[in-house]
Structure 1
Amino acid sequence: MIATISGVVGLALGVVGMHAFRVSERQRAAGIDVDEPTMPEGATEVLASLGLAYIVVDTVDGVVRANPSAYAFGLVRGHTVVHDELLKLTARVRADGVIIDQEYELPRGLRGEMSIVVHLRVAPLGDEYILILADDRTEFSRIEAVRNDFVANVSHELKTPVGAISLLTETIEGAADDADAVTRFSQRLHKESRRLAALVQDIIELSRVQGKNIVHQGTPVDLNEVLSEAADRSRLPAESKNIEIRLGGSLPRRVHGDGDQLMMAFRNLIDNAVRYSPENTRVGIGLSSRDGIAQVTITDQGIGIAQEDQERIFERFYRVDAARSRQTGGTGLGLSIVKHVISNHGGEVSLWSQQGRGSTFTVRLPELDESMDSLDLPGSPRAEQEAQSSARAAQQHADSRTSHRTPAPDSSGSDSAGGTE
């Protein structure tokens, strides 16, 4: 019995001792002053308002602050700066205090499978911190590269007809006494002039389709009428090669877009089919609708396109056979224009082709549901009726205000209308 009581007392004393130890530890910890990293006053608010990715590192390049964009760009992982390039910049700023502005292309992703172009500004922040600001310039750099490539391609493409025209002009001048030579070279001069004019026109059209906002400026368009007219416009060159253009099917609903741009896109496809088809063949145009999608297929019986060329066929100035394209008058911009127009209309264009069996271009565009609010789009009958009703109501309101308005007195003090209400 005594042993049992002694055990209980010992257990109680142990519990009390453990509790006293824990209380003592908490009191000691509360008395320790831990220096948390602190930012200069107002710095956090300023950084949040910049709209840029930012990283703040301490004297050993540990990450003190970083916003979500810095993590999304792959510049920071955990509390560590990922890229050695950034650490080299912080070391330079820490050494001499001079702000650095540089642009880098840095790997992105867990294995660096992608890249990001960032403009970095590295500057001292207070006495112990370094600030890294990062502006994502990836899309800007891509657009700039495309623009430079486009300018280079345009310059190259323009050189050929301009050079040919200059050379042919000199040749004609030198052969002024040879009527046959003048006739022959004049015909070639006309051909190069037409090619130059077509190239310039395609460049203008490409610029125009890239700049127009179809969503806000489009109207309901009947593709049946567009395809019928596009086919009619291509019949003359088709008849010169005895090529039949056959149009079949119909579309029950309209699409929202720009009729002129769609006309240009479909005519480019039909002209291409005629241009690269042998004589005595047929070009088929099929129209169908399914699940709210208008589908247009343009099929030829031409030479076809190799598989390795199909992925690049919509690139600017890309030609499967440059010599043949120049001979047939192609500029290399037609399919690029088609892709831009269809993309601007929320659609897609695809290609099936097999060498020796021809090609089929398929265009898919979203149709308007004319039982819904789509009839309220600009240019639709309902929109025009509502606009006219609004105009009449506004005019009636204005007339009513005018009839009840008190005329202003003239300089003599009499009423300008000879009286008041």
Structure 2
Amino acid sequence: MKKFHFLKHPVVIFVLAQLAWLSLVGIWIYWYISNYIIFDLVGDKVSPQLVSKSINLFVLITGLFLLVAVLTGMYLIFIYLNKQLHLTKLYDNFIGNVTHELKSPLASIQLYLETMNIRDVTGAKQKEFIALMRKDANRLNYLINSLLQISGLEQKKIAHSFDIYSLEPLVRNLISESARQFNIPDDAIKITGTAPCSCVLDTNAIKIVIDNLIDNAIKYSKETVQLKIQLACNSKSFVIQFIDQGVGISPKDRKEVFKKFHRIYNPDSPNVKGTGLGLYWVKEIIKYHGGKISVFSEGRNKGSTFKIELPIYQTTKKRYINSLLKISTKNVKNDG
């Protein structure tokens, strides 16, 4: 089916619609001329109904078919253009958000540098300024690296390093690292359940997933973040659920939340900053691992649950395992 994928391109649809329209006009012209010639030659000897009945039926059916083809082609082009306009709007919003996200730390660093240049800042204050500038620089570096990695992931240029891992100790360790990274108190994240199973993973990519989901919980929490993380294994999958107490997600936004550039506007958190790429990035990483991610929320101000399912090593198809491990730059080992 992939070799016919080009038929979905709007230019091809437009060309086919024009061909259908020209064919329709050509058939009608041919029908008119043919009838004219027949009646001119034998019109006084043969009943017109006998000559034209079958031809008229054929021309009618063919004309209707081509007309439907033209209308269908125009409708598909309209749908495509509508989607392109929507994407353009999202892209414009994305450019604005990224520009703001890039300018904020740069402006902050510039302010600290100018302050240190104008005033004689020494001792503890100087260390404080340097720490704040380093924090802004790290934020800037993280954003730039995120954009580059998303681009590389889409173009399949990221060098993944897959391995077989025992999940529970690995995931608990990655969650602890993320909590320290975001300065979250120990009692803000509660991990429950057990996961006595193994998966083929790229730990760096899974760390990105955990970072983004925890960051998302922080951004959309009304007060202090409270996050519950449940671990479980079933016969086919490793399941991890991130349950927050934030502003929640409406049913219509649940269908859009993982799309590229999409951001949810919520009146309870109107000043949340972001690029609209975090959850899209998460979805692509999980998809690359052969898993799936979904979100559930009972509604506004009732929190959200992000559920990730990854195929466990024991029941994963051998071909899939080999394809992941083949592109890894490391030897297969069990980190458990």
What TM-score do the two structures reach when normalised by structure 2?
0.59
In the aligned structure 1, how far is the partner of 2:221 from the partner of 2:292? 24
Determine the structure 2 residue equivalent to 1:262.
206
Rate the CA distance shift 1:237–1:291 in 2: closer, same or farther, 3 A: same
Cα separation, 2, equivalents of 1:283 and 1:219: 28
The offset of 1:264, in angstroms, is 1.6
Of 213, 225, 229, the match for 2:173: 229
Pairwise CA distance, 1:338: 0.9
- Which structure carries more helix by proportion? 2
**Aligned equivalents of 1:307, 1:167: Cα separation in 2:** 38
Identity, % of aligned positions: 21
Of 307, 311, 314, which aligns to 1:362?
A: 307
Which of these residues, 159, 181, 184, is aligned with residue 99 of structure 2? 159
Q: Is the 8 A contact 1:238 1:244 kept in 2?
A: no
Q: Within 5 Å, which residues of 2 pair with 1:262-301?
A: 262-277=206-221, 282-301=226-245
The Cα of 1:204 is off from its aligned counterpart by: 1.6
Say yes or no: does 1:61 pair with 2:24.
no
Which letter does structure 2 place at the counterpart of 1:106?
Answer: M
Shift in CA distance, 185/380, structure 1 to aligned 2, threshold 3 Å: closer
- Aligned-CA RMSD value: 5.0
Q: Could you say which residue in structure 2 is the equivalent of 1:79? A: 62
How far, CA to CA, are the matches of 1:285 and 1:272 in structure 2? 14
Distance 1:297 1:253, change over 3 A: same
CA deviations on 1:145-176 (whole Å, 9 max, x unpaired) are 78756653443223224544676637964895
- Farther-moved stretch of structure 1 (300-309 vs 330-339): 300-309
1:334 is the counterpart of 2:278: yes
State the 1:262 CA deviation. Answer: 2.5
Higher relative contact order (CA 8 A, sep 6+): 2
Q: 1:249 aligns with which of 182, 189, 193?
A: 193
CA contact (8 A) 1:218 1:378 kept: no
Q: How far off its partner does 1:231 sit? A: 0.8
In 2: Cα distance, 1:217 partner to 1:146 partner? 36
SS of 1:377's equivalent in the other structure is helix
Distance 1:196 1:63 in 2: 67
Kindly indicate whether the alpha-carbon contact (under 8 Å) linking 1:243 and 1:274 is maintained by their aligned counterparts in 2: no
Aligned residue among 106, 113, 132 for 2:74: 106
Secondary structure of 1:106's match? helix
Matches within 5 A, 1:8-407: 57=23, 60-61=26-27, 79-80=62-63, 82-83=66-67, 106-107=74-75, 115-116=76-77, 152-164=92-104, 169=110, 173=114, 177=118, 193-212=137-156, 220-237=164-181, 240-241=184-185, 243-277=187-221, 282-315=226-259, 316=261, 318-321=263-266, 323-326=270-273, 330-353=274-297, 354-370=299-315, 373=318, 377=322
Residues 161, 192 of structure 1: 8 Å contact kept = no
Higher percent of residues as strand: 1
Which has the larger displacement, 340-349 or 186-195?
A: 186-195
What is the CA-CA distance between 1:229 and the residue it aligns to? 2.6
Offset of 1:197 from its aligned partner? Answer: 2.9
TM score, norm. by length of structure 1: 0.49
In 2, distance between residues paired with 1:317 and 1:179?
45
Whole-angstrom distance in 2 between the partners of 1:249 and 1:325: 31
Residue 298 of structure 1 aligns to which amino acid in structure 2?
F
Flag the structure with larger Rg.
Answer: 1
| SS, match of residue 82 in structure 1 | helix
CA distances 1:167-200 after superposition (whole Å, capped 9, x unpaired): 66379648954569x9899888666545433322
